[in-house]
Every structure is written in C-alpha cells, then in structure tokens.
Amino acid sequence: MTPLLVVGDSLLDRDVDGRVERLAPDAPVPVVDQPADRVRPGGAALAALLAARDGRRVTFVTALGPDDAGRTVAELLAGAGVSVLDVGADGPTGQKVRVRAAGTPVVRLDHGGARDLVAAPDGTVLEAVRAARTVLVADYGRGVTSQPQLRAAVGEVADAGGRVVWDPHPRGPDPVPRTRLVTPNLAEMRRVTGVDAAGLAAIADAAVALGRRWETAGVAVTLGEQGAVLVGADGTPLMVPAPAVHGRHDACGAGDRFAVGVAGAIADGALLSEAVVGGVRAATAFVAAGGAGGPDVMGEANGDPPPAPTSPRCAEDVVTAVRARGGTVVATGGCFDLLHAGHVRLLADARALGDCLVVCLNSDASVRRLKGPGRPVVGEVDRQAVLLALAAVDAVVVFDEDTPERALTELRPDLWVKGADYAVADLPEAELLAHWGGRAVVLPYLDGRSTSAMIRKAEHHVRHVAERGSITPVDRLRRTGI
C-alpha cells in the first residue's frame, strides 16, 4: 500500500460505559452504575489510526498539548505503528467524553479550548510534508490546518501534482487550491455555502459552486446513512448509496473512516469515483462493526468487511430492540430464488402481523438439496441483498440445514409465517414454536406465481427463439430479455 501523510488536530476520546437502572433521588437524571472507561485517539488522530489499521505506513503531523491526554494520544498512535510528528500546542489537548448506558450516549463532556495555539513546525516536519505524495488533511478547527507554514507545505504538494484530500471543518480555513478532493458532510457544506440544499440536484449545484470557490477537482458530500454524492468539474453528480446497516449502530467516526478510505484509494491510483465508492463501503463497514466506540477500533483492522448485515447477530439486535418495547417478532423462511410477486406479497403480509420480520433463508447448499442440482438460480449473497432491499424485511438469517429449526430456536419468534400451500398442522416448526409460546400462521399465496414456473417460461422462450433461426446462446438470451 502507498504511504499516507495525515495532517490535523488531535483529541483524546473517552467512552464511559455503564448501566442505568434508576434515576437520581435529587434530580430526574439517570444514574450510570459501574462505569468502565475506554480511551482512543480522536479527531485527526483517529484518521491516522484507521489508516494504520488498513496496513498503511502513516506519518501524522499534529499538535499535542504538554499534558497526560496528549501523551496518551501519542502512546496509542505509536502502539499502532503511526509515526507522530508533534509540532506542539500551547494549551491542553482537547478531550471528548461520552457517558453511555448500554451503548447509548447519555451526555457528552468536552475539555480543552476550542482552538489551540500551534507552534511553528521545524524543518523536519515541513520536509516530511513536502515529500509526501498523498496527504489527508483532517481539520477539526483547532488550529493545525491554519498554521501558515504547514498550510504552505500542503499547498506545495498540491501544486506539484500530489494527491491532497481535505476533510474540512466550519471553524477551519478553506482547503488549499488544487486539492484533489474535498469531503464535507451536508451540514458543513450548508454552513460554508449558506445554501440550505436539499435533494440531489440542489446538493450537486451547491457542491459545484463550492468546488469552484475552493479550486478543487471534486467535492464528495457525505450524507450519513444515505451515502455520498460526488460532483466533479462538469457538475454531473454521482450518487453512491450506502449499504443498509441493520440494528443499532454508532456513527461516531464514520466521517474519518470515509476520508481515510477515499484518501487511501486515491493514494493507490483509484479514480475519484472509485475512491468514493470504496470510502462509502469502508464507512458502512466501520459503522456496522460498532463505530469509533466499538470494541475493535484499538485492536483489529477496521478496513475488513463488516459483519454481514444479514448475520444472526444483526437479526438478534433487531429482535432484542423489538422485544424491549413490547413488540411482536415475526419470522418466515424459504429459498426465495428468483423473487416474484407472490414472495413480495407474502413478506408484506407477514410484516403486517408484527413489529419486525426476520427471513430465514436457505443457503445455496440447502437449496440444492431441496430443489436439485440446477438450483438456486440466484446465489445466497444476492438473494440476501434483494430481500433486505424490501421495506417489509428487517433482517435475514442464512441457514445450511434442510429446515430452519436451529435458527428459530436462537431467534424464538412470536409468529412463524408460511404460504398457503401448507396447513398449520403440517408445519414441522409448529411444535417447536410451542416450546416458547410462539404460533405458526399460514397466509394465502398469490395464485399462479412460482419460481419453477418462471424458470420453465424462460426455458420455453429460449427454445422458441432458437427454433426460429440459428443464433448464439448469448443472442438467445438478449432477444428474449432473460
């Protein structure tokens, strides 16, 4: 991997996690019992850490205060293999403290001034910046990116054709001219431009104006769980949707994960469009794995793929949340190979019976045993993706057995739904559900819809067209629309 130089403001982030079971007797505020304190690098220091976790050689130019918090940030980064070039700050290192109950923030406490007095960098620091081919500027508005000599050195990299990615902050300076990509979030872009952009066209227009103002090749506006919009000089927007993340999640640090993913891809020679697609995927993976407050940030690589959004763990999160508010958990199962209108109707009707719907999906091996060697037509990864795209489906669990009994035992749904070609008495799962007070329910199918019928019709079309002339197999498929 190509090395990366990160420039920006450091913070020390702390999560104080406990449990809440009562209110304080002297005020209507929660009492957080048995808190456990975890620390990690924050601000641009988190970006440097994530880049190192990706396997890159990372140099980090920052300003740390002469205090315990600054020393802790330096030690954590050194332990992750980051080379820290500290220019020094005249003041305490900023700290963000999140007090959480069962992973949910209760209050945030900020320590340290809003802006640091950053010392002038020495020649070693400036030479390191000028020698970099790819620079990520992670601005947190505390003064590092406003330091004139550092800013000039980054500008020299951009002027020389180097790759500069700038993640801006409303309190920070404008990016240097000729930056390769700027990555504001929607709120930041609105504050900078003064345009309350909403909708893809308005966001794209505001991004074009921002790109011209900042003389940058591209602007990627991040939209949280919706993904990101990339706009280049021609003004054509590329919308990059984010994959769905099911269950509870912590988005803290997602912007840094996106910026690092983008900068790393650009460092390795990717086009801006390819880099933004990779950045969105990396940020989604990061959020799915728990975000900056997750257990793996200081240990395992955050660039790895996330737990599949269809994994039992995510389904259990959905079920737990529904049960916590007294809701009804509904489950159904099947192969769902070549999804058709009958499937969609069944799933919508099943979801209407409760407060969430979990689909137990036969794996490819399970489908082959049940349907024969020619099935499934669509692999399990794509079948999962199609099901999760439906509004009726909250989670999917894949099982390898011939029946979903093991998955049901783990999920313990209140209702188990199957189509009308079953009688309740014939459902093998009915007796299992009775063990925890669940019920089996049968819903009507939409007549005339089946995967087998769709396959037979497709085969008939191919044969019919082939009999009318000598054409290639590819032409057969193209002419029949299959």
Residue numbers annotated as active site? 256
359 close to 331: Cβ distance less than 8 angstroms: yes
Residue type, 373: P
User: CA–CA separation, 152 vs 257, rounded Å?
Assistant: 26
Identify the three-state secondary structure at position 237.
strand
Q: What is the dihedral of CA 200, 201, 202, 205, to 10 degrees?
A: 120
Per-position b or e across 329-364, b if 16+ CB within 10 A of its CB = bbbbbbbbbbbbebbebbbebbbeebbbbbbbbbbb
Strands 356-362 and 329-334: parallel
Strand partners, 8: 138
Question: Alpha-carbon distance 316 to 294, whole Å?
Answer: 18
94-101 vs 83-86, strand pairing mode: unpaired
Sheet with 4-8: strands ordered across:
83-86, 58-62, 4-8, 134-138, 163-167, 181-182, 218-222, 228-232, 237-240
- Residue 467 CB-density burial (10 A; 0-12 exposed, 13-18 middle, 19+ buried): exposed
Q: Please, is 148 exposed, middle or buried when counting C-beta atoms within 10 Å of its C-beta (0-12, 13-18, 19+)?
A: exposed
